Structure formats: C-alpha cells, structure tokens
Amino acid sequence: MKSLTGTGPETGTPSLPACPVCKAAALPFQVIAGLRYLRCPDCQARFLAPDHHPTLEAERAHYLTHENHPDDPGYRRFMGKLAAPLLARLPARSRGLDYGCGPGPALAAMLREAGHEVALYDPFFAPDPAPLSDTHDFVTCTETAEHFHHPAEEFSRLRALVRPGGWLAIMTCFQTDDDRFANWRYRMDPTHVVFYREATFRHLAQSWGWSCDVPVKDVVLMQRPGGRP
C-alpha cells in the first residue's frame, strides 16, 4: 500500500495506507507542521503516515534522553497505574514478560517484588529473543504501543505470547479529543506514531475473542480465554 504521497494505479488519486492496527481502510485526519495523520473509522486509532516515521537510529537516540530509573518514586507511581490492577488479577508466583521494557524496567522490578517472575524484552535495550519463544501468564507493554511502526504485527506477536487464561496488560495515553490533537503533548513526541482510544482495544479484544477491562484511563487488561477453570 502506498503512502499519502502516492497515487492509485487506476484512478491517479492519492492512495491512503490501511490502518496499521486493524488493517481497515483509513481516512485523512489532520496535517500538522507537514506531518500527515490518518484515522481509522473501524478501530478509531489515529496514526502518522508511514513515510513520516523516524528512523531506528533516531528512535534509539530519543529513548536515551528519557530518565526513567527503576528506583524513582515518581516513575514507580506512574507504573503503579498498571501494576495495581494487574497484581489484583494474577495468581501467586505467575510468570510474565515485560515487552518493550526500555532501559529502566521499573514495572518488572515492582512485579518481581510482588513475588512474580518477569523476563525482559526490548529491541534496543534487552534484545535477547529467548523470552519470545515461550508463553507467559502475563505480558506487559507499558508506554510502548504508541511506538509500534507495525502494530498489527506486534499485537499478533503479543497475543501469541500469552498462554490460555493469561493477561495482556497495556498502558498508553488514550487519544480522546480530536480538537486538541495538534497541541497534544503525546503527539509531539517524535517517536509516537500511533494513538489509541479505549475503543481501539475493545475492537481488538472483540476480534480476538478476548475479554477487555479498562480499570483506569490509559490502562487496558485483556484476558485470553481458556486455562484452568
């Protein structure tokens, strides 16, 4: 599929990329400072046109500017938005994976302190693929999904990593107001390329046949069916 700057082979009109989350036909949304954004009428995601995505080198350089230390009390409170509702649902001594853990895996430390085993994976900071060959009682993905250049493929991988009865726990800032999108702090991060609404995750969960709970804004807990009764 060509980008916004391409043209359709039959009509000569601009062709739009499909929604990278659910693959539905996307619609134009906004152009901000030369950056083209689109929206999906099916799953309600908003996303940056692929031809504006940052390079991997630019991404990594930007991540290194973050100061997210595992022992930072403020960062731990932030991670607690996801940790608290997830811990309330996990059996004792569960085995999980922190997917996209970044250079300072505070959430993994918090879950380990609660008695759970947590493996790490991050393409930049914990690139050992071994945890990706296993299934887990839970998989966390915090402040990571907005960076996905190919979210449909990433979510397909995440689904496969969760064992029957297990949990996929995601935290990302929900996009709620189109009128404020241009000046939204979250959009201004150059590594954020896709923006989700609560409806986006409910759409995904329904298509997968999973349950979906949003205990607080920006946090979604999806449970794979099956497992022990």
For residue 92, give the amino acid letter. Answer: A
Q: Mean pLDDT over residues 76-90, rounded?
A: 97
In sequence order, which residues have a C-beta less than 8 Å from that of residue 91 and are 6 or more positions away?
137
Q: What torsion, rounded to 10 degrees, do the Cα atoms 123, 173, 210, 20 define?
A: -60
pLDDT value, residue 14:
57
The percent of residues in the chain predicted with pLDDT above 90, rounded, is: 83
What is the average per-residue pLDDT within 210-217? 98
What is the model's pLDDT at position 8? 39
Residue-wise pLDDT for 189-207, tens only, equals 999 999 999 999 999 999 9
Give the pLDDT of residue 228.
62
* 193 alpha carbon, distance to own chain's centre: 11
pLDDT at 5 over 60: no
DSSP β-ladder status, 46-48 and 35-39: antiparallel
Q: What are the two backbone dihedrals, phi and then psi, of residue 152, each rounded to the nearest 5 degrees?
A: -60, -40
Tens of pLDDT along 37-81?
999 999 999 999 999 999 989 998 888 777 777 888 999 999 999
Chain mean pLDDT for the chain: 92
The structure tokens listed for 163 are 């064992």
Q: Is residue 183 predicted with pLDDT exceeding 90?
A: yes
Give the mean model confidence (pLDDT) for residues 76-104. 96
Going along the chain from its start, the domains and CATH numbers come out as: 53-223 (3.40.50.150)
- Separation between Cα atoms, residue 99 and residue 119, nearest integer Å: 9
pLDDT in tens, 217-227: 999 999 999 97
The Cα 104–Cα 102 span in angstroms is 6
